[in-house]
């Protein structure tokens, strides 16, 4: 199994993996970026949602730098990760354990949609790649995320995954605590 982690770009956003239990993949999801527009998306809105996601990616990459990663297994895209300072992710304001810290970068998604690719170390490699990159940015003091208790079928990932990777619970909530890793 050949695993390759690559930065998310406007050229490879279209490769974001599909999520079987959701009508769209990460390339169409605008939950974090435009929460007021992400109510109940219809299939015919895919192009519009992709354009919004692409515009967000271009703006954040220009202003902040790289803000996402894809993991490929044998040339198949199997995982998507997205991160940025929380002001680029207004959907983060809706979480009781927040708000995210101003000195942190928020991981909004780190997800492996297909169960057959989970528990192979891909998520850990993806998280290390993000951490290594953000350690180089002097203004970034920590990484935070709203992880989910009791379920791995969630775009931000399960609490136990983050605890195994050095995060601690920073803000309490019974379903979505804010996790933090100081860099």
- Summarised one tens digit per residue, pLDDT across range 110-166 is 989 888 998 899 999 999 999 999 999 888 999 999 999 987 667 888 999 999 999
Tokens describing residue 145: 């995320």
For residues 167 and 44, the model is more confident at 167
- Summarised one tens digit per residue, pLDDT across range 58-111 is 999 999 999 999 999 999 999 999 999 999 999 999 999 999 999 999 999 998
Angle at 179 between CA 174 and CA 183, to 5 degrees: 170
From CA 124, how far away is CA 111, in angstroms rounded?
A: 11
Domains annotated for the chain, with CATH where assigned, are 3-182 (3.40.630.30)
- Please, which residues bridge with residue 70 across strands? 6, 80
3-state secondary structure of 36: helix
What is the pTM (predicted TM-score) of this model? Answer: 0.93
From CA 168, how far away is CA 171, in angstroms rounded?
A: 9
Long-range contacts of 115-122 (CB under 8 A, 24+ apart): 117/73, 117/78, 117/79, 118/152, 120/1, 120/3, 120/73, 121/3, 122/3, 122/71, 122/73, 122/78, 122/79
Residue 57: its pLDDT value, please? 98
* Nearest Cα residue to 26 out of 17, 39, 37: 17
């Amino acid at each position: 199994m050949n695993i390759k982690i690559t930065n998310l770009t406007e050229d490879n956003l279209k490769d974001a993996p599909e999520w079987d239990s959701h009508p769209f993949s990460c390339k169409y999801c605008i939950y974090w970026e435009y929460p007021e527009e992400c109510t109940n998306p219809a299939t015919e809105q895919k192009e519009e949602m992709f354009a919004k996601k692409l515009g967000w990616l271009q703006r954040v990459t220009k202003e902040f730098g790289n803000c996402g990663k894809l993991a490929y297994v044998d040339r198949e895209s199997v995982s998507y990760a997205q991160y940025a300072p929380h002001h680029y992710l207004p959907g983060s304001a809706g979480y009781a354990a927040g708000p995210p810290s101003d000195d942190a970068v928020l991981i909004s998604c780190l997800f492996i949609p297909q169960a057959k690719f989970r528990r192979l170390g891909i998520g850990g490699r993806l998280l290390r790649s993000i951490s290594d990159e953000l350690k180089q940015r002097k203004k970034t003091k920590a990484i935070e995320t709203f992880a989910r208790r009791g379920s791995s079928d969630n775009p931000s990932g399960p609490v136990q995954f983050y605890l195994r990777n050095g995060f601690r619970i920073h803000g309490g909530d019974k379903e979505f605590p804010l996790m933090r890793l100081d860099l």
